[in-house]
A and B are shown apart, each in its own frame.
Chain A
Amino acid sequence: MGLKKTSLYNEHIKLNAKMAPFADYDMPLQYSSAKDEVLAVREGVGIFDVSHMGEFFAEGPGAHDFVDFIMTNDFKNAGNNKAVYSPICRENGTIIDDHISYKINDQKVLICVNAANIEKDWNWLKSHVGKFNCTLTNKSNDYSLLAVQGPKSENVLRKLRLISAEDFPYYSVLENTRDNEQYIISRTGYTGEDGVEIFCSHDFANKLWKEFLNEGVTPCGLVSRDILRLEVCFPLYGNELTDDITPLDSALKWTVKLKKDNFVGRNFLAEYSPKFRLAKLSIEKGIPRPGYPVLNKNNEVIGNVTSGTMSPTLNKGIALALIEKEKFPENKEFVINIRNKQFNCTYHAKHFYKGGHK
């Protein structure tokens, strides 16, 4: 069983990237140094090949209704050409995946899902689409996906004639054409910085990759992507979000719109009282890692780290941790156990770092 390759695989090899399997794909982890890649995105502009992500299209008069029904967030009332982030839940409220749906036009929606969940999501969506007046197609193998992120991204994108619209606000999406190549561009990302994601043909992705590198854009791998999202506290499916918990257990209450029309999981979530609460914790010396136990001041284990790393931007250890709600300490005093040593944490009410997204 060979690993799948993205259309940019040869470019990664040429750049001497450190490669590793991720969700059936051989993906670039880092090119030079993950730390430098993080700083490039915070201060300049970086480019990520995230072609492993899944792309489905819902098309037809019922496409908006369908997408609204399978997500917990409000899709129907979002404006034209808007993107909406949302969990996709089962009837019992547990999370199948988190994703972004893009309103391309009034009869067409792009549904972008996590690479590791493509098959699970596809089966789930397929089983619900029958009631709606629309078709559902899986175009995951037909699309490459580039993320161009960082405060200087807009300048480069305009120079390369990839954004032409005057007004292209955060979380909006457009279908565009350049040199007879059609692509979908959205002002979204997973880094907290300003930037875009470009869904396009494999050929065009290869062309663009070279153009961006010629402009001095830094190629960035999955390691820096994971650090960047953690610094701004974006959840990761498999870590903060799993098959076993609901969005209400993991800081995603803002994405569950109980007032909108019926949606999968609504009845359960309306009555549910969460079992967990997500905590944002940092430590000055020491690096929290997934699975490390979190304790209160009385030495009682109250939860686990779900994501943790050294933050190159803040120069300290940062962690997201799922804490049993009933044991969530009122005094906000948390301890992380690292190799049987106790580290006192700083509790953060907000994200560790505020990115500069528009």
Chain B
Amino acid sequence: MEHKIMENLKYTLDHEWAKIENETLTFGITDFAQSSLGDIVFVELPEIGTTVEKGTSCGVIESIKSVNDIFPPTSGEILDVNQDVIDSPENLNNDAYDSWLVKIKLSNVEQIDELLNSQEYLEHCKKNS
């Protein structure tokens, strides 16, 4: 399966990308993920101000045929969610890296070290496809 990976981003085993700027982590789903899901038709994101835990579902992405949990790459408080993606879920299919989902205030910086770099993520995708 052909898909795009951005060199300057971090990744999770759940096929999410993450960008870290100062105390804020922005994340979305990867091109690999959107392509595997097919037509994305519904997105549910956490409420701003709530706190999410790494490894615990904080939202849902639904394609025509499947329901998929969103697992935050790190724990922390929700600073912002992307209303455009909620209104137009198909944006995730059009450009997954341009369509961020959630911004989290970092509370546990060590969790960033557990993220994959682009090369490690590429290897992970090869195993999964």
Contacts and interface: CB of A to CB of B under 8 A. Distances in A.
B38 A310 contact: no
B65 interface: yes
Nearest to A18: B38
A103 B101 CA distance: 56
Interface stretch (A30-38, A105-113, A320-328): A30-38
Interface string A151-179: 00000000000000000000000000000
Interface in A296-313: 309-310, 312
Contacts of B42: 286-287, 310
A310 B60 contact: no
Interface string B70-93: 000000000000000000000001
Contacts of A289: 67
B62 interface: yes
11 contacts: A33-B38, A33-B93, A34-B65, A35-B39, A35-B64, A223-B64, A223-B65, A287-B62, A287-B67, A289-B67, A339-B44
A146 interface: no
A312 B64 CA distance: 9
A30 B36 CA distance: 11
B65 A309 contact: yes
Contact of A34 (B39, B44, B60, B67): B39
Interface of A: 18, 29-30, 33-35, 223, 226-227, 286-287, 289, 309-310, 312, 339
B41 interface: yes
Contacts of A287: 41-42, 62, 67
Interface of B: 38-39, 41-42, 44, 60, 62, 64-65, 67, 93
Given A287-B62, A339-B60, A310 B67 contact: no
A352 to B, nearest CB: 15
A34 B62 contact: no
Contacts of A35: 39, 41, 64
Contacts of A309: 64-65
A332 B60 CA distance: 29
Contacts of A286: 42
B86 to A, nearest CB: 10
B118 to A, nearest CB: 24
Contacts of A34: 38-39, 64-65
B31 to A, nearest CB: 15
A291 to B, nearest CB: 11
A35 B65 CA distance: 11
A168 to B, nearest CB: 33
B4 to A, nearest CB: 16
Nearest to B62: A287
Nearest to B35: A18
Instruction: Choose among B41, B42, B64, B67 the residue with the greatest number of A CB atoms under 10 Å from its CB.
Output: B64
Q: State the 6 A-B residue pairs at the shortest beta-carbon distance, nearest first.
A: A310-B41, A35-B39, A34-B64, A33-B39, A287-B62, A287-B42
Contacts of B67: 287, 289
Nearest to B2: A16
A223 B41 contact: no
Nearest to B67: A289
B27 to A, nearest CB: 21
Given A18-B38, A33-B38, A35-B39, 6 more contacts: A34-B65, A223-B65, A287-B41, A287-B62, A289-B67, A310-B64
